[in-house]
Amino acid sequence: MHSMLIRGLHVTVLALASLVAVVGLAAVGAGSAGAATVTKVFYINAKTAGANGNFFDTGITLPAGASATVSASGSTKFDPNYPSAGPDGSGYVCTNSQAGCALLNAPYLALIGKVGDQAPTLVGSGPTTVTGPGRLKLAINDAFDGYYNNSGRYRVAITYTRTCPGLICVG
């Protein structure tokens, strides 16, 4: 009886120690200068991310001069009859200037980024740095009217510094 009570106390002490460790890590992550480095992960679909020129909106807004690092993996197809490819794109290039491409003269299925009003750029599998100002949006390259027969998705990890002017962080 006595020994069981002691064992129970021991477990409680261990649990408290773990809790303190987790809180300590969170405090380090939040930083002391009103900013926090965060990583957000998105899964973007080859049927929709860029279709008709509509890029996938990450919801991440980068202030002027601030940057984010983008890394991607996964497998997609731009046509059931062609080989699959990853975020660096296939061996086929989107030159369909009539319909438009998420990024003209870049490979089909390449991961494309666009920040605010800036021109779209090739991101690929990365890690690739993109710079503000503006909202970060993503696309999987294809002709604007050609997304209907695409398949697959990419996992995209975006690491950036979120500013926290008060208790609430922005971005």
Helix, strand, coil percent content, the chain, rounded in steps of 5: 20, 40, 40
CB 43 within 8 A of CB 153: yes
| Nearest approach, Cβ of residue 165 and Ca ion (Å) | 43
**Of 72 and 143, which CB lies nearer to Ca ion in the complex structure?**
143
| Nearest approach, Cβ of residue 146 and Ca ion (Å) | 4
**Of 61 and 151, which CB lies nearer to Ca ion in the complex structure?**
151
**Of 149 and 159, which CB lies nearer to Ca ion in the complex structure?**
149
**Measured between alpha carbons, how far is 171 from 156 in angstroms, rounded to an integer?**
17
| Nearest approach, Cβ of residue 79 and Ca ion (Å) | 5
**Of 85 and 158, which CB lies nearer to Ca ion in the complex structure?**
85
Give the CB-nearest residue to Ca ion. Answer: 146
| Nearest approach, Cβ of residue 118 and Ca ion (Å) | 25
- Beta-carbon contacts of 141 under 8 Å, excluding residues fewer than 6 positions away, are 50, 89, 94, 101, 102, 103, 106, 107, 108, 109, 110, 111, 112
> What does the binding site for Ca ion look like in residue numbers (CB under 5 A)?
78, 142, 146, 149-150
